[in-house]
Amino acid sequence: MWIATTLGFYSVVHKQHHEAPNGKKFFVIRARTRGDIERLAKEIKSVTGKDKMIHEYEKSDYQFRIYLENEQELSATLGALASKVTYSNFKEEIAEIPHQQDKVPAYSNLWLKLFLLTHKGIFNEQPSEA
């Protein structure tokens, strides 16, 4: 699951920790920038009371990760992120946040691609011949 927030951009997956010998699965929240994951770690601590270690994997597409133990930690984290939605336009809000401004072109591109995907018949129709 992708999550675009005013704190950062995250990918959430449910998978085995490569260092867990027993095969236990974790909810892994991944980020491409250290700042994004650090802001999230503070948020997680505020709602769970737990300090979460930030794992760094230099050769990964998502270089920074936090491992959550269970659905309760994930739910608390997602709830905290949801409580930060106080704006009426996400892209405009991001444009005002210095540590997120560089993501505006990517978010705008994603918005446009999804818009065109869902409205392709509206804008791609050729005029009918009379």
Question: Can you give the residue ranges of every domain in the chain?
Answer: 1-85, 87-120
Give the count of beta carbons closer than 10 Å to the beta carbon of residue 123: 8
Tokens of 48: 């769970």
Q: Which of 5, 23, 14, 11 is nearest to 83 (CA)?
A: 5
Instruction: Return the pLDDT at 116.
Output: 87
Quick one: average pLDDT of 91-99?
96
Instruction: Return the pLDDT at 62.
Output: 95
63 pLDDT band, cuts 50/70/90, is very high
Residue 3 has pLDDT above 60, yes or no: yes
Model confidence, pTM: 0.85
Q: Domain 1-85 belongs to what topology?
A: Alpha-Beta Plaits (3.30.70)
Instruction: Return the pLDDT at 16.
Output: 85
**CA distances for 54 relative to 11, 28, 72, 117, angstroms:** 14, 11, 19, 36
Region of 49 please: left (phi>0), alpha (psi -120 to 50) or beta. left
Whole-number CA gyration radius for the chain = 18
Q: What is the overall mean pLDDT for the chain?
A: 90
Distance CA 65, CA 34 (A): 9
Residue 78 has pLDDT above 80, yes or no: yes
Residue 95 has pLDDT above 60, yes or no: yes
Instruction: Return the pLDDT at 21.
Output: 67
Instruction: Return the pLDDT at 17.
Output: 77
